Amino acid sequence: AQSVTQPDIHITVSEGASLELRCNYSYGATPYLFWYVQSPGQGLQLLLKYFSGDTLVQGIKGFEAEFKRSQSSFNLRKPSVHWSDAAEYFCAVGPGGYNKLIFGAGTRLAVHP
Amino acid sequence: IAGITQAPTSQILAAGRRMTLRCTQDMRHNAMYWYRQDLGLGLRLIHYSNTAGTTGKGEVPDGYSVSRANTDDFPLTLASAVPSQTSVYFCASRGDGLNTEAFFGQGTRLTVV
């Protein structure tokens, strides 16, 4: 069955510290992978996506993610967190094209000044 | 501005009442989706439509129905609301190209009392 696991429900980091949010997936075919961010009371905004090619992908707001097929992982990273990064982050997997995406349960990030 | 519009933004609904959540997109995407977001569960797919005139059931379809009379609109109906349908509902769409992501509306916060 297709699934996405985000092991960390809540993460708290200090402003300026590095960040890594974990995402593991179970998918039978070549996965298309996404990270979305949701600020309080808002919809979901795409941070980055991986379809093929270079396994390290760059996104908006200084985020990057690395696809590791052997570990079925697609972890999100940022070298220095800003207070405005406090939000909920969702990892998603799905096939290409118009097919539906499967989402993880999300990781809520808090940033301490 | 191109995108997805959901209405209403929020609603308090008496149990047993019928309610239709509206979703309109102007990106001419064939695929559209309804997700519900609940704390700790992430986004779960309710129904989807790969093209006008077709719909399919997602992960949690019970108690909900959808229609897709045209490309732009994808309303979600609760025939007889129950308190467990209290949630935040997101409409999304996705383009036909292989390397496409899903775009989300701002959400409808529904409280069934």
**Highest-confidence range of A94-108, B28-42, B67-81, by mean pLDDT?**
B67-81
pLDDT above 90 as % of chain A: 75
Residue A29: its H or E element: none
Q: Is B63 on the interface with A (CB under 8 A)?
A: no
pLDDT at A6: 96
Closest residue in A to B95 (Cα–Cα)? A98
Backbone dihedral region for residue B3 (phi beyond 0: left; psi -120 to 50: alpha; all else: beta): left
Residues A12-20 have a mean pLDDT of: 97
Residue A104: phi, psi to the nearest 5? -80, 175
B92 contacts in A (CB within 8 Å)?
A: 44
A35 contacts in B (CB within 8 Å)?
A: none
Instruction: Give B42's contacts (C-beta < 8 A, 6+ positions apart).
Output: A6, A90, A103, A104, A105, A106
Angle CA A99–B4–A21, to nearest 5: 60
pLDDT at A41: 82
**Average of per-residue pLDDT values in chain A:** 92
To the nearest whole Å, the CA of A39 is away from the closest chain B CA by: 11
Q: Is-cis flag, bond preceding A40, omega within 30?
A: no
Instruction: Inspect the interface and report whether the beta carbons of B101 and A46 lie closer than 8 Å.
Output: yes
Q: Are A60 and A47 in contact (CB under 8 A)?
A: yes
Q: Are B104 and B4 in contact (CB under 8 A)?
A: yes
pLDDT at B97: 76
pLDDT digits (tens, 9 = 90+) for B7-23: 999 999 999 999 999 99
Least confident stretch, A96-105, B35-44, B83-92: A96-105
With cut-offs at 50, 70 and 90, classify the pLDDT of residue A95. confident
